[in-house]
Structure 1
Amino acid sequence: MSESEGVLESSYVPYTATFQYAPYNFENTALEVGRSQWPNYDDQHYLRGCKWSPDGTCLLTVVRGAGMHVMELPSDLYTGESVMTSRPIAALQPAVSVPEGGLIYDYCWYPGMNSGNAATCCWLSSGHGGPIHLWDAFSGDLRCTYRGYNNVDEVEAAMSVCFSADGQNIFCGYKKNVKIFNTGRPGREYVEFPITHQASCLVASQAQPGVVAIGTWRNTIELVSQSDGSFRHLCKLNGHKGGITTMAFSLDGFRLYSGARKDKEIICWDLRVPGRPMFCVPREVNTNQKISIDLSVDGKWLVSGGTDGKVQVWNVTEQTYPTVHMQMSLHSDCCNGVSLHPYRPILATASGQHHAMDPLHHSRQTLQYENALCMWWIGAQQEDPDLLATIIKAATNS
């Protein structure tokens, strides 16, 4: 599709017909149902998060030095209330790969993605030294670019990107401003909202269209309201010890959850009374790496990875101070990405991080680090009766 043509012509129609909804059950252990592994090279192909598509059909991940990859959800997981514990782990293979060699700063799905409508199947990415790219999720082709320029008319790389709730606009975080592009008009036409510090993280509220949270490397979060091309400052939130790396709005839009680098707390902000945090929950984050958080679509479950490889779960609908509802040791290395499926009880996780080179051997090939994209069933599970009978018979004979 050329830049002169419409980038997105169709309206958003939720694609849920093939899914049978099943709730998360964080009382059970996580059952691994899918995995994709990247080897250890000297240039360290570790993963940088993962995100389910809004329609739940596929999973997007970025691998440092090895591009972007879209994995399809195994077809047997679309329906059914439970999964057999003997189910083999599916070897996930990329349905679409984009060999983007540079460092990817941020990426996000088009919020109206519907696999039944090819025009809506796309995602954004922003990388080192280049413009913002819109990629086709079916072919991996580049649809168009959005180019932000600095004060000497040079193309500037955005550190963070996100769509507006309706997908009509793209918010891009730069060193001194947030640039807003019209999704249907690629190129260099944009409006700017000035900021004091570099925008490291952006998230748009689904419940309150036009409200955007801007996280910065200087530990602050600014909430703004955008309408008719103008911007209005709402409030500024202070409380983190490091630069903001991840945020998520609650379903009703009244809460904002945020996490920061080298900061071992997730803060929940009540945006109706934004003067102080509503509560804080702990997690293990001892590096500058982005460790993402996610909320379930019903707003009940908050999940976070950690540099210790563990995934923690909180029930944030509890009236009292929420404690860790469940803690799962899912990875042997840093778990930097978590994403909850919108319709099925499936948690996606991504692992990996930068490791210092051995000063004696000058190589990492002899060391085995985990760089994996995994899918975990967090729902009802059933024992395979044939397998159970075999185990009982073997125990009896022994």
Structure 2
Amino acid sequence: MGEEEEEEPILVNNEENIQTNLDEQNIYTYPQIKFDIPPYKTYHFYQQFRNTSNPNNFLKAVKWSPDGSCFLTSSDDNTLRKFNLPDNEDTCPSAPGDSYVADLVVSEGESVYDYCWYPYMSASDPATCVFASTTRDHPLHLWDAVSGQLRGTYRAYDAMDEISAAFSAAFNPSGTKLFAGYNKSVRIFDIHRPGRDFEQYSTLQGNKEGQSGIISTIAFCPSNTGMLAAGSYGQTTAIYSEGNMELLYVLHGQEGGVTHVQFSRDGNYLYTGGRKDPFILCWDIRNTVSIVYKVKSALESQEHNLYETVHPEKFRKYTRIYLLYMIGLSWFKTAKACSLEGSKTLKRVRFLFELSIRLYRSSESTNQRILFDIEPSGRHLGTGGQDGQIHIYDLQTGQWVTSFQAASDTVNGFCFHPFLPIAASSSGHRRFGMPDDLDEGFSLSDEENCASVWSFFYSPIADNEGNIDCHDSNTPIESEDIRKDS
């Protein structure tokens, strides 16, 4: 692979962007979505993802831009497509069945591992309209979301002086650095200095303490606490300090390699999902050595409204609810458990504790990443699955709220709009045909290997006092938050 030309540094006024973003958060209030009413499909796309060179092309993910003006999709043809949210005026359909054509198409050289938006992206400021992507056998790329030109390249090299590809990427909250996950390490790039300059931190210490495996996903705490979470294919999630990548603690409990992590809106809870793991786990990161509860969906297929809790006083008389068990890990028991593993310090200790909540999704038979998202108000979580449905959960109770059919195949991506009561979904999976069928190609419906935008019914809120914060104990709510400590 040849060397690429050095790009000019990206100049962004972060202080101004941060202040503008905070002002918008203080003024705007997200509407209350009526999940009891099924949403309706506003826009639909499938023809643009099908071509003769790759008839088996399928989508991998969908992500809204921070300003909500567009969304970005990733597909198996190594292509990123940006779709602007139309003003319902001049939209030009690209093919029968598609609502309109993608505004931007960016082709990568290899399979796209991950991509992320610049956190202060605003369509009104072209300098901030960028997103980063990482692909197999290629360095990190920073793309201009308006022109499609390459803004910057960030290279990491291995011991053989060959380019090492990142498996995950995420901007820090201030938008000044790009964190990238590698095998047992995290590299940090200054976005204003494209090239091969970076800081490298190993996630596994010399005494085998820490986090092993490929760092497949990274997320930052939104409450400006300076913490970040990193998921690993080694079935662990670790919490680090952003400033020096100090390991704070490691979470165990995922059945498969961790593929997606996301903090709650207030930063007190962490949600993790794994490969071929049907459960999304919820962790209370404030009380990691205190008594916690465990909620698990007791279902085999479509019985999503069942859950379990270990707090008898919070036991609810739902159908087929089963009481699990009480888990209490005191500081001394944790320290003892760690000492048995050879840990000599409690500063970087491998905490052995249970999780808070387990939410079910149909994903136990696929190797795909199944991405989930939390609505901006922080009350509900939405996730896809192999059954082609979007499942919505109430994060206060752990209870299944509703589901709706989004596609005829695996829904691997779901993302709420940051301001409007709409969401985007992506679907598809790899298909293998018999040798006799290869010449005929794959016969797919318009509900397979597709992307859709959904509009929800909602109740407008007059002021900020009506905004739902499911983690604020002072906010009146209809149901008790079972995640809180007893």
Query: TM class by shorter-chain length?
Result: 0.7 to 0.9
Partner in structure 2 of residue 36 of structure 1: 45
Provide Cα deviations, 1:63-103, integer angstroms capped at 9, x if missing partner. Answer: 211511110112149xxxxxxxxxxx970311111122420
Deviates more, 1:332-341 or 1:208-217: 208-217
Deviation of 1:272 (Å): 1.2
Deviation of 1:269 (Å): 0.5
Distance across 2 between alignment mates of 1:9 and 1:208: 19
Partner in structure 2 of residue 337 of structure 1: 413
Partner in structure 1 of residue 287 of structure 2: 273
Aligned length: 365
Provide Cα deviations, 1:180-225, integer angstroms capped at 9, x if missing partner. Answer: 1112111111111102321111111121343111111110011100
TM-score (norm 1): 0.86
Q: Is the aligned partner of 1:161 residue 2:175?
A: no
Letter in 1 for 2:246: R
Contact 1:24/1:344, CA 8 A, preserved across alignment: no
Q: Which structure: larger Rg?
A: 2
Please give the residue correspondences for 1:307-318 in structure 2 after superposition, counting only pairs within 5 Å.
307-318=386-397
Deviation of 1:115 (Å): 1.2
Contact 1:269/1:278, CA 8 A, preserved across alignment: yes
Distance across 2 between alignment mates of 1:221 and 1:303: 21
SS at match of 1:256: strand
Which of 237, 240, 248 matches 1:224? Answer: 240
Contact 1:299/1:317, CA 8 A, preserved across alignment: no
Partner in structure 2 of residue 200 of structure 1: 216
Distance across 1 between alignment mates of 2:50 and 2:138: 27
Change (3 A) 1:283 1:245: same
Contact 1:164/1:209, CA 8 A, preserved across alignment: no
Partner in structure 2 of residue 130 of structure 1: 138
Please give the residue correspondences for 1:240-279 in structure 2 after superposition, counting only pairs within 5 Å.
240-274=254-288, 275-279=353-357
Change (3 A) 1:264 1:380: same
Deviation of 1:251 (Å): 1.0
Q: Is the aligned partner of 1:184 residue 2:195?
A: no
Partner in structure 2 of residue 355 of structure 1: 431
Contact 1:118/1:138, CA 8 A, preserved across alignment: yes
Provide Cα deviations, 1:93-150, integer angstroms capped at 9, x if missing partner. Answer: 1111112242000000000111111111110000011000000011111101111111
List, as ranges, runs of 4+ consecutive aligned residues in structure 1 with deviation greater than 4 Å.
Answer: none
Deviation of 1:250 (Å): 0.5
Q: Is the aligned partner of 1:171 residue 2:183?
A: no
Partner in structure 2 of residue 289 of structure 1: 368
Change (3 A) 1:256 1:343: same
Deviates more, 1:3-12 or 1:326-335: 3-12
Partner in structure 1 of residue 63 of structure 2: 51
Distance across 1 between alignment mates of 2:414 and 2:72: 12
Contact 2:275/2:366, CA 8 A, preserved across alignment: yes
Cα RMSD, aligned residues only: 2.3
Q: Is the aligned partner of 1:26 residue 2:102?
A: no
Deviation of 1:24 (Å): 2.0
Partner in structure 1 of residue 382 of structure 2: 303
Change (3 A) 1:20 1:175: closer
Change (3 A) 1:221 1:133: same
SS at match of 1:68: strand
Which of 76, 80, 83 matches 1:64? Answer: 76
Contact 1:357/1:363, CA 8 A, preserved across alignment: no
Letter in 1 for 2:414: V
Change (3 A) 1:343 1:298: same
Please give the residue correspondences for 1:365-380 in structure 2 after superposition, counting only pairs within 5 Å.
365-368=441-444, 370-380=448-458
Distance across 2 between alignment mates of 1:20 and 1:247: 25
Partner in structure 2 of residue 114 of structure 1: 122
Structure 1 unaligned spans of 5+: 78-88, 382-398
Contact 1:28/1:380, CA 8 A, preserved across alignment: no
SS at match of 1:148: coil
Change (3 A) 1:8 1:209: farther
Deviation of 1:276 (Å): 1.7
Deviates more, 1:217-226 or 1:68-77: 68-77
Deviates more, 1:22-31 or 1:113-122: 22-31
Contact 1:267/1:279, CA 8 A, preserved across alignment: yes
Contact 1:308/1:334, CA 8 A, preserved across alignment: yes
Q: Is the aligned partner of 1:6 residue 2:20?
A: no
Provide Cα deviations, 1:207-247, integer angstroms capped at 9, x if missing partner. Answer: 134311111111001110021xx221111001111101111
The higher relative CO (CA closer than 8 Å, separation ≥ 6) is in: 1
SS at match of 1:119: helix
Change (3 A) 1:299 1:272: same
Q: Is the aligned partner of 1:324 residue 2:400?
A: yes
Deviation of 1:359 (Å): 3.5
Distance across 1 between alignment mates of 2:32 and 2:161: 50
Contact 2:32/2:458, CA 8 A, preserved across alignment: no
Contact 1:165/1:209, CA 8 A, preserved across alignment: no
Contact 1:9/1:119, CA 8 A, preserved across alignment: no
